Amino acid sequence: MTLPHFPRIPLGFFPTPLVELPRLSKVLGGPTIFMKRDDQTGLAFGGNKTRKLQYLLGDALNQGCGAVITAGAAQSNHCRQTAAAAAKLGLECHLVLGGDAPDKPSGNLLLDQIFDCRIHWAGEHRKGEDIPEIFEELQAAQKKPYIVPYGGSNELGTLAFAEAAHELDTQGNHHLFTHIVFASSSGGTQAGLMLGKKMLGKSYQVVGINIDKAETDGTYFDRHIVSLANCAAKLVGLEHEFTDQDLTLNSDYLGAGYAVIGDLENEAILLTARTEGILLDPVYTARAMGGLIQMIRSGEIGRKDRVLFWHTGGTPALFAYANGLDLARRTGKGFLQAPG
Ligand SMILES: *Cc1c(COP(=O)(O)O)cnc(C)c1O
C-alpha cells in the first residue's frame, strides 16, 4: 500500500543514514543494533520534527498562511526546527515557551533567537495553552496564522512518520528488524511508525520509550497515540482500527521527570559517544537509549534480536544541560567492558 499525495515542502535531506553500531552492540553483549540517523535531517542540527514540518508547513503554505505558532519547553527541539523552517520559508514564527526568559540563552533557545522568532514566555504552560490568544491577535492583524500542533503531532505529522517507515524499508528491507526503539513524547513518531508498519505488513515491534509522563490533550498518552494512528489511517485510506493491542509504550524510564538527567541518561550518552562517536541528547534519545540498554541487560531484548534505534535528534540541548552531565564518574577502567 502506497502513501497518497499531500502537499509537502522539502526541508531536509532524505533518506537519513542507516548505520550499524557494532561496538555498542559488543559492549552490551547483545543484539545487532542499527541506528536511523534522524539527527541528520539537515535542518538546523536536525531532528524528527523536520519530517513532520515538511507536511505541516506544506499545508500552511497551501492555505496561504503568513505566520506560524507553536509551543514547547524552553529547550524544545520541535520549536527550534519550526523556527528554522519558518525562516527558510519566509513565515513569521511565534513560539510559546514554558518557563521564563533566562539571563543567557543556550542550546535550542539560542538557536530560536538566531532565527529571529517571537518568543512568548508562558510560565507553567509548556504545552501551548496560550496559543489561542496569540492566534486571535495575529488573525486580527491579518497575518493568517497557522497553528503547528504540540510536537508536530496531528494526522499530518503522523503521516510523515508512516512515510519514514517506508523510507526505512527502502534502505533496510533485508534487515528483518525485530524491534524499533525510540523516544516517544507527543506521539506522532510512534503513531506514524505503527501506521507504516501496518501498511508495509512488517512484524517488528514498535517500542516507544515514554519520556514525559504528563497527559496530552486531557486523554492519557497511550489513548492519544492510538487515536493519532487511527486519524492518520483514515487520511491514507487504510481500513484498520488500531487498538491498545497495537501499542507498545514503555513507561519504565520516566526517572525523576521530564528533562531531569539521571544515571540512565548519563550512561547512555557516554557509552554511545565512546563506542560509536555518536551524540545523543540528554532529554529524549539518551532516555530512550538508556531504556534500550536496560532491556538488553534484563533479557527483554535478546542476543539474537536485531534492533533499530531511531535517533530522533535533539543534540543542541546537550549544551543547555551541560550541568546534568556526569563526566568525571564514568571514565574509569572497565566502563567499556562487555558484561560477563
Ligand atoms: C519531539 C522529540 C521526540 C518525540 O517525538 P514525538 O513524535 O513527539 O513523540 C523524540 N526525540 C526528540 C529529540 C524530539 O525532539
> What does the pLDDT profile of the chain (340 residues) look like in tens digits?
788 889 999 999 999 999 999 999 999 998 999 999 999 999 999 999 999 999 999 999 999 999 999 999 999 999 999 999 999 999 999 999 999 999 999 999 999 999 999 999 999 887 788 899 999 999 999 999 999 999 999 999 999 999 999 999 999 778 899 999 999 999 999 999 999 999 999 999 999 999 997 655 545 899 999 999 999 999 999 999 999 999 999 999 999 999 999 999 999 999 999 999 999 999 999 999 999 999 999 999 999 999 999 999 999 999 999 999 998 865 444 555 444 4
Residue 330: per-residue pLDDT = 55
Same domain, 76 and 92: yes
The answer to whether position 335 is within a domain reads no
The answer to whether position 190 is within a domain reads yes
Same domain, 215 and 233: yes
Same domain, 142 and 161: no
The answer to whether position 9 is within a domain reads no
- Residue span of the structural domain in which 74 resides: 49-152
Same domain, 115 and 186: no
Phi, psi of 137 (to 5 degrees): -65, -45
Cα–Cα distance, 53 to 59 (Å, whole number): 9
Instruction: Select from 77, 161, 315 the residue to mutate for testing ligand 1; criterion: most ligand atoms less than 8 Å from CB.
Output: 77
The answer to whether position 13 is within a domain reads no
The answer to whether position 6 is within a domain reads no
Contact criterion met (CB below 8 Å) for 58 and 9: yes
Q: Which ranges constitute the DSSP H helices of the chain? A: 22-27, 49-62, 77-89, 107-114, 131-140, 155-172, 188-200, 221-236, 263-276, 285-297, 317-320
Same domain, 185 and 217: yes
Same domain, 199 and 306: yes
Class of residue 103 by CB neighbours under 10 A (exposed 0-12, middle 13-18, buried 19+): exposed
Report how far apart, in Å, the C-alpha atoms of 308 and of each of 31, 204, 207, 212 are.
10, 10, 10, 22
Same domain, 181 and 248: yes
Out of 25, 76, 184, 186, the active site residue is 76
CATH of the domain at 226: 3.40.50.1100
Residue 2: per-residue pLDDT = 80
* Ligand 1 atom with least separation from CA of 52: 7
The answer to whether position 333 is within a domain reads no
Alpha carbons within 13 A on the beta-carbon side of 245: 5
The answer to whether position 339 is within a domain reads no
Same domain, 26 and 84: no
Q: From the centroid of its chain, how far is CA 114? A: 22
Same domain, 147 and 273: no
* Ligand 1 atom with least separation from CA of 188: 7
Tell which residue, 134, 127, 6, has the closest CA to residue 60.
6
Residue 329: per-residue pLDDT = 62
Identify whether 153 is a catalytic site residue: no
Q: What angle do CA 115, 42, 40 make, to 5 degrees?
A: 130
Cell of 96: 510559546
Contact criterion met (CB below 8 Å) for 125 and 16: no
The answer to whether position 8 is within a domain reads no
* Ligand 1 atom with least separation from CA of 317: 13
Q: 3-state DSSP call for residue 250? A: strand
Same domain, 256 and 189: yes
DSSP per-residue string spanning 47-77: BTHHHHHHHHHHHHHHTT--EEEEEE-TT-H
Same domain, 261 and 227: yes
Helical pair 155-172 and 49-62, crossing angle rounded to 10 deg: 130
Phi, psi of 254 (to 5 degrees): -75, -15
Residue 336: per-residue pLDDT = 53
Same domain, 198 and 283: yes
Q: Which residues line ligand 1 (CB under 6 A)?
A: 47-49, 77-78, 151, 153, 183-190, 281, 284-285, 312-314
Cell of 64: 496561504
Cell of 177: 528488524
Q: How many domains does the chain have?
A: 2
Could you tell me the pTM of the whole model?
0.95
